[in-house]
Structure 1
Amino acid sequence: MKVFIESYGCTFNQADGQIIAGNLLENDIDLVESIEEADVVIVNTCYVKLPTEDKMVFRIQKLQKEFPDKKIIVGGCMVEIDPEKLEKIGPNVSWIGPHQLNKSASVVNATYCGEVIRETGFSKDSKVGVPKVSDDGLIHILQICEGCLGACTFCCTRFARGPLNSYPISDIVAEAKKAIENGACEIQLTAQDTAAFGRDSGEKLSDLIKEVANLEGDFRVRVGMMHPKNILNNVDEIIDAMKHPKVYDFIHLPVQSGSDKVLSDMRRGHNISQYKEIVSKFKKEIPDITLAVDIIVGYPTESDDDFDKTVELLRQIKPSLIHLSKYQHRIGAISSSLKEIPPKVMKERSKFLSEIKEEITKEENVEFLDSIQNVLVVEKGSKGGYIAKTNNYIPVIVHDVELGTFVDVKITEATSTYLKSELL
């Protein structure tokens, strides 16, 4: 029996796909690199946005149509968020919920034999230290906790990931140590909210960062998304930990809106004054830090004035990375009961904010021109060359280098999303 796995969505879900693969190999089930070779296909789904939902549905239906002889198993967030739709489009499809990955081999074996198996429901099983299979030995994704403490009105992911479940620091550090010894040069600490780490176990994110960064080896640590409300009471300690030379000067701090009214409607648990205070502290203590933000355009209660406040905030804090999403209803989300804003208004706001994004990020990246940067080469470029990361996690195109090495480059060109360079 041969199995093909395809994973979609966030870094955390990519790591789930690696765990599924590890569980299969541990149970002597072969993995293949193409659907054509496979007897069983696992689709590890993402369900965060409506376009992604449509993509997942289309993908599953396409596989059923084009490969009727192959068994299909669906994993990922769709399993827990929308089982009704999944049952409708795939009544003969097996499921593996994101908390049941240790049962992957048994689900695959049963499905291959013609059974329809659905393993769902929450679990406190750890995802650290379990067998994993990755196509990339240089970048190691390390899941530090699963679930969140939030109640955001627009989110459906929390229905799939459940309440917060932090993994022990000792186990996380042990996995990081092993990955570095096996050649990893970038450790990505990931979660639905890394700032929530330890709130249920009594441990601290700042201690975790320091312990991983203090491991022997030449590598970098990237700390994943942090919810502003959960960083409020621990800002100074986290900043101190992130000053470690092996930690990227990078923070992903979603704000979603520049309006306190909209943030309250979203039940985000923070206000703009608090958000700006966090950003100010980071920029004061780590001047070169890259700030990445998330913005939801057109939340149902967003007025023109609320939107203007979002534009004003972005121009004030000048993020180097801006992730824009048009608001769309999600199954089970509280805000789905609200009336959406008119499509024309949504389109106009999204277009305007995209232009602002281009302007701000290009302006930030231009400051790198002619500078000398020590960069870590992490992956091959899709259009040739290699992609490296500066110490503040800005992607740089480089040529004639080796993967996994640190090199000095001169920045020769800046776009709104990446830099180009010449090797020194």
Structure 2
Amino acid sequence: MKVYIETYGCTFNKADAQIIAGVLLENEIDIVDNIDESDVIIVNTCYVKLPTENKVTYKIQQLQQKYPDKKIIVSGCMVEIDPEKLEKIGPDCSWIGPHQLNKSADVVNATYCGDVVRECGFSKESKVGVPKLDDGSLIHIIQICEGCLGACTFCCTRFARGPLNSYPIADIVGEAKEAIENGACEIQLTAQDTAAFGRDSGEKLSDLIKEVANLEGDFRVRVGMMHPKNILNDVDEIIEAMKLPKVYDFIHLPIQSGSDKVLSEMRRGHTIEQYLDIVSKFKKEIPDITLAVDVIVGYPTETDDDFDMTVDLLKKIKPSLIHLSKYQHRKGAISSSLPEIPPEVMKKRSKFLSEIKSKITEEENKLLVGTTQNVLVVEEGSKGGFIGKTDSYIPVIVDNVELGSFVTVKITDATATYLKSELL
């Protein structure tokens, strides 16, 4: 039997797909890259935004029409967030919930034989040290915890991922060590909120970072998204851990809005002053830190003044990476009961902030033109050449290098999203 897996969404979901594939391979079920060769298709869904929901919904319907003789299984967040819609568009599809990945082989075998099987519900099963597909990538993803402590009004992902479940540091370090020994040169520590790690188990993110970063070998560690409210009580120790030479000088710290009023209505659990204090401490202790932020444009209660505060905040903190999202109602989210702002207002604000975003990120990147950077080459470019990451995790285009190598380059040009370089 041959299975094709198509995955949408975040780094965490990609790791889920690797686990599904690993479980299948362990049970002597083949994974194929060509959908036409497959007997069973797994669509690993993301549901965080409406455009992604529309994309995966269309894909499931399209696959049923195009491949009527193939069996289709849906996995990922849609299974837990919107089973009603999934039942409507795919009544003959089997399901694998995000917490039931260890049952992937059973679901595939039963579905192949003509049964409709639906494994859903929450579980405390660890996702560390389990079988994973070795796809030859130099980047190894480790899920350090699942779920969150938040109650954000706009979020539906928490309904799929459930309450916080942190995995033991010893297990995470063991998987990282094995991955490095097998050739990985970048370890990505990922979660819905890495800053929440250990709040349920008594362990600490700062200790985890230190233990992974102190492993032997030539590699880098990237720490994933941190919720500002959960970093507040451990800022100093996390900064000390991230100063270690093998940790990228990079922090993903979503802000969502520059207005305290809107943050409160979003139930984010922190203030702008607290956020600025965190950013200030990181920039003081790690001057070359790359700051990545998330911003939601047009939350239902966002006024023109609230929006202006967001613009002013971005101009003040000057992030190197800005992820913009237009607000849209999500299944089960509290804010979905509120009236959305007028479409023309949303369009105007989104366009303006997109222009501000490009200007800020390009200006920040252009400050690096002429500098010498240490770069880890992690993947091949889609248009030729190679893509590396500076010590501050900024993408760099490099030519005539080997994958997995550390090289020194001179930055020759910059755009809003990446740097260009010449090898020294």
TM-score range, shorter chain: over 0.9
SS at match of 1:221: strand
How far 1:6 sits from its partner (Å)? Answer: 1.0
Deviations 1:357-411 (A, max 9, x none): 0110011001110111110000000111000000000000000000000001110
How many angstroms apart in 2 are the aligned matches of 1:27 and 1:155? Answer: 36
How many angstroms apart in 1 are the aligned matches of 2:386 and 2:215? Answer: 27
How many angstroms apart in 1 are the aligned matches of 2:389 and 2:28? Answer: 37
- Number of the residue aligned with 1:369: 369
- Number of the residue aligned with 2:98: 98
Q: What is the one-letter code of the residue matched to 1:405?
A: S
- Number of the residue aligned with 2:289: 289
Q: What is the one-letter code of the residue matched to 2:108?
A: V
How far 1:133 sits from its partner (Å)? Answer: 0.3
How many angstroms apart in 1 are the aligned matches of 2:420 and 2:344? Answer: 37
How many angstroms apart in 2 are the aligned matches of 1:300 and 1:2? Answer: 46
TM-score where L is the length of structure 2: 1.00
Deviations 1:306-345 (A, max 9, x none): 0000000000000000000000000000000000000000
Instruction: Indicate conservation of the 8 Å contact 1:259/1:309, yes or no.
Output: yes
How many angstroms apart in 1 are the aligned matches of 2:268 and 2:135? Answer: 36
How many angstroms apart in 2 are the aligned matches of 1:135 and 1:161? Answer: 25
SS at match of 1:28: coil
Does the alignment pair 1:344 with 2:344?
yes
- Number of the residue aligned with 1:301: 301
How many angstroms apart in 1 are the aligned matches of 2:65 and 2:134? Answer: 29
SS at match of 1:42: strand
Q: Where does 1:157-236 land on structure 2 (aligned, <5 Å)? A: 157-236=157-236
How far 1:146 sits from its partner (Å)? Answer: 0.1
- Number of the residue aligned with 2:37: 37
How many angstroms apart in 1 are the aligned matches of 2:4 and 2:346? Answer: 39
Instruction: Indicate conservation of the 8 Å contact 1:222/1:250, yes or no.
Output: yes
How many angstroms apart in 1 are the aligned matches of 2:385 and 2:317? Answer: 32
How many angstroms apart in 2 are the aligned matches of 1:194 and 1:301? Answer: 28
How far 1:156 sits from its partner (Å)? Answer: 0.2
SS at match of 2:384: coil
SS at match of 1:292: strand
Does the alignment pair 1:47 with 2:72?
no
Does the alignment pair 1:378 with 2:382?
no
Deviations 1:104-145 (A, max 9, x none): 000000000000000000000000000100424300000000
How many angstroms apart in 2 are the aligned matches of 1:246 and 1:101? Answer: 31
- Number of the residue aligned with 2:320: 320
Does the alignment pair 1:145 with 2:145?
yes
How many angstroms apart in 2 are the aligned matches of 1:395 and 1:136? Answer: 20
How many angstroms apart in 2 are the aligned matches of 1:356 and 1:31? Answer: 43
Identity rate, percent: 82
Does the alignment pair 1:395 with 2:391?
no
SS at match of 1:127: coil
How many angstroms apart in 1 are the aligned matches of 2:233 and 2:407? Answer: 37
How many angstroms apart in 2 are the aligned matches of 1:313 and 1:137? Answer: 37
Deviations 1:146-190 (A, max 9, x none): 000000000000000000000000000000000000000000000
Q: What is the one-letter code of the residue matched to 2:78?
A: M
Instruction: Indicate conservation of the 8 Å contact 1:137/1:182, yes or no.
Output: no
SS at match of 2:284: helix
How many angstroms apart in 1 are the aligned matches of 2:83 and 2:307? Answer: 35
Structure 1's unaligned 5+ residue stretches are none
- Number of the residue aligned with 1:405: 405
How many angstroms apart in 1 are the aligned matches of 2:245 and 2:62? Answer: 47
SS at match of 2:374: strand
Does the alignment pair 1:109 with 2:101?
no
- Number of the residue aligned with 1:250: 250
Q: What is the one-letter code of the residue matched to 2:16?
A: D
How many angstroms apart in 1 are the aligned matches of 2:55 and 2:142? Answer: 27
How many angstroms apart in 1 are the aligned matches of 2:312 and 2:191? Answer: 29
SS at match of 1:314: helix
Deviations 1:399-424 (A, max 9, x none): 00000000011100010000000111
How many angstroms apart in 2 are the aligned matches of 1:135 and 1:82? Answer: 31
- Number of the residue aligned with 2:310: 310
Deviations 1:62-103 (A, max 9, x none): 100000000000000000000000000000000000000000
TM-score where L is the length of structure 1: 1.00
- Number of the residue aligned with 2:19: 19
SS at match of 2:44: strand
- Number of the residue aligned with 1:132: 132
How many residues of Structure 1 are paired with residues of Structure 2 in the alignment?
424
Q: What is the one-letter code of the residue matched to 2:175?
A: E
**Where in structure 1 do 4 or more consecutive aligned residues deviate above 3 Å?**
none
How many angstroms apart in 2 are the aligned matches of 1:322 and 1:197? Answer: 24
How many angstroms apart in 1 are the aligned matches of 2:67 and 2:281? Answer: 54
Q: What is the one-letter code of the residue matched to 2:398?
A: V
SS at match of 1:411: strand
- Number of the residue aligned with 1:67: 67
Q: What is the one-letter code of the residue matched to 2:252?
A: H
Instruction: Indicate conservation of the 8 Å contact 1:227/1:254, yes or no.
Output: yes
Q: What is the one-letter code of the residue matched to 2:76?
A: G
